[in-house]
Amino acid sequence: MNSPTPLLLNDQLAIERIFSHIDNGTTDLGDTVWRAPVEHYYSQERFDAEIAMLRRLPVPFCPSAALPEVGSFIARTAALTPLLVTRSNDGTVRAFINACRHRGMQVASGTGCSKAFTCPYHAWTYNLNGELKGIPGRSGFADLDPADHGLAEVGAAEKGGIVYVRQDGPIGDDALDDHLDYFTPDQKLFEQGELFDDANWKLINETAQEGYHIKSLHRESFYPYGLDNTTLVETYGANSRIVFPFRRIEKLRDVEPGKRQLSGVATSVYHLFPNVNIAVLSKHTGFTVLEPLSPTRTQWVFYRLFNKQTPESPITLEEAQRDAEFVNESGQEEDRDAARKIQASATSPANTHFTFGYFEKAIVNFHQHLALHLGE
């Protein structure tokens, strides 16, 4: 039913389909209506099951560009577990539970570059491979074997410019075979940060997966530049790609088909199941992880990278930052506000379920695979 890789990677096909939708007043449609119980957005039991799922699966953790050199590291919580992900001496990525094997103190925080990690509590020291290399007052631990007290390692692998982490075991050699190449090695990171919202992670995730709300929610922000309910939607396995065309795509009608490009006239948003979105704009690409903190609170962890460029068409930092600011000004804040307001009413008797129709094909695909992985 779903193609293994997006056909829409072909710009010419995508542009022709967009023109067809514009000319006929149509959009890509799904064939299933999905009804999600409202309790799934506040139930502690459902939340616990989702956290267990996030630990079972290889989940995108960060773009490879966020770990650019040996010793680069990121320490943050993922699926409620403090993790330390680093690039080891041989250039591969490794991931550990961020807990000293003495008394559980986190050995690193934030991001940076280091040759070793020293616990701030009692100064036990670990190398980039997680091996215990130093214990002050070694004589006080006469029976302790350092080889058995390295940092607890979890699965980590790289594919297509993304670092994946699996907490409940290693990532098999073929586990990422059907994952696409989303970034090239020359795409550099220029910004990263975090945001917090009092809303279930799924509510925030859903705001990026349909264009049915463009005119009504983004009337003064995105709608003057974009099209209402005119999108291309393709699902591939649990993932999806949605193309949101700008009004300026019309200028391509007079361009020879073989020379048309989507870059600059559309935004492509990839949803990587379960909780990552990659948004490709004109000058930059945003990589966003939606970390569930509780049934009603979510952390955004975001990274922004330069788009692919050539010596003939370089992208300046100012251009990339302006492109990123457009995302904020053209709807992200409105989407966040909508998610928070939906959360506020979720426990009321107004709705027993939320309904996702044919215009919301990517969201239906998301919920279908979520239910599948949760055994529902």
DSSP string, 78-89: ETTEEEEEEE-T
Name the band, by pLDDT with cuts 50, 70 and 90, for residue 4.
low
Coil, strand or helix: which one is 191? Answer: strand
Which of 116-125, 253-262, 322-331 comes out lowest in average pLDDT? Answer: 322-331
Q: Provide mean pLDDT across the span 280-306.
A: 97
Calculate mean pLDDT across residues 247-275: 94
Percent of the chain whose pLDDT exceeds 90 = 88
> Cα 162 to chain center, whole Å?
10
pLDDT tens digits, one per residue of 308-332 = 887 778 899 999 999 998 877 668 9
Q: Is the pLDDT of residue 148 over 70?
A: yes
Helix axes 361-373, 44-56, angle to 10 degrees: 80
CA distance 85 to 164: 10
- pLDDT for the residue numbered 9: 63
Range of weakest confidence among 92-101, 282-291, 306-315: 306-315
**Which contacts of 96-99 are long-range, i.e. CB under 8 A and separated by 24 or more positions?**
96/130, 96/151, 96/152, 96/153, 96/154, 97/151, 97/152, 97/153, 97/154, 98/151, 99/151, 99/152
Mean pLDDT computed over 249-262: 93
Cβ burial, residue 33 (10 Å; 0-12/13-18/19+)? exposed
Residue 258: what pLDDT? 87
* pLDDT tens per residue across span 41-56: 999 999 999 999 999 9
| Cα distance between residue 325 and residue 107, in whole Å | 34
User: Percent of the chain, pLDDT > 70?
Assistant: 97
**What's 308's DSSP letter?**
P
Residue 284 has pLDDT above 60, yes or no: yes
- Higher pLDDT: 152 or 264? It is 152
Task: Output the pLDDT for position 8.
Answer: 65
pLDDT confidence of residue 1: 37
Please give the Cα distance from 116 to 134 (Å, whole number): 10
Laid out side by side, the sheet with 125-127 consists of 116-118, 125-127, 132-134
pLDDT reading at 2 higher than 90: no
How far apart are the C-alpha atoms of 309 and 347, rounded to whole Å?
Answer: 48
- The pLDDT confidence band at residue 6, using thresholds 50, 70 and 90, is low
Given a cut of 70, whether residue 102 has pLDDT beyond it is yes
Q: Is the C-alpha dihedral spanning 5, 56, 68, 192 positive or negative?
A: positive
How far apart (Å, rounded) are the C-alpha atoms in residues 247 and 93?
42
pLDDT at 267 over 90: yes
pLDDT in tens, 170-228: 999 889 987 889 999 999 999 999 999 999 999 999 999 999 999 999 999 999 999 99
Higher-confidence position of 150 and 221: 150
pLDDT in tens, 60-84: 999 999 999 999 999 999 999 999 9
At which residue do the structure tokens 């100012």 appear?
A: 318
Average pLDDT estimate for 6-28: 89
Tell me what the pLDDT averaged over the chain comes to.
94
What's the pLDDT band for 89 if we cut at 50, 70, 90?
very high
CA atoms of 47 and 287, how far apart (whole Å): 23
- The residues with which 242 forms a beta bridge, in sequence order, are 233, 269
Distance CA 128, CA 283 (A): 34
pLDDT in the model for residue 92: 97
Integer angstrom CA distances of residue 77 from 109, 114, 167, 321, 346: 10, 19, 12, 27, 26
CA distance 58 to 36: 25
Q: Is the dihedral of CA 297, 303, 266, 219 positive or negative?
A: positive
Per-residue pLDDT, averaged over 280-300, amounts to 97
Q: Which domains does the chain have, with CATH numbers?
A: 7-55+185-373 (3.90.380.10), 59-166 (2.102.10.10)
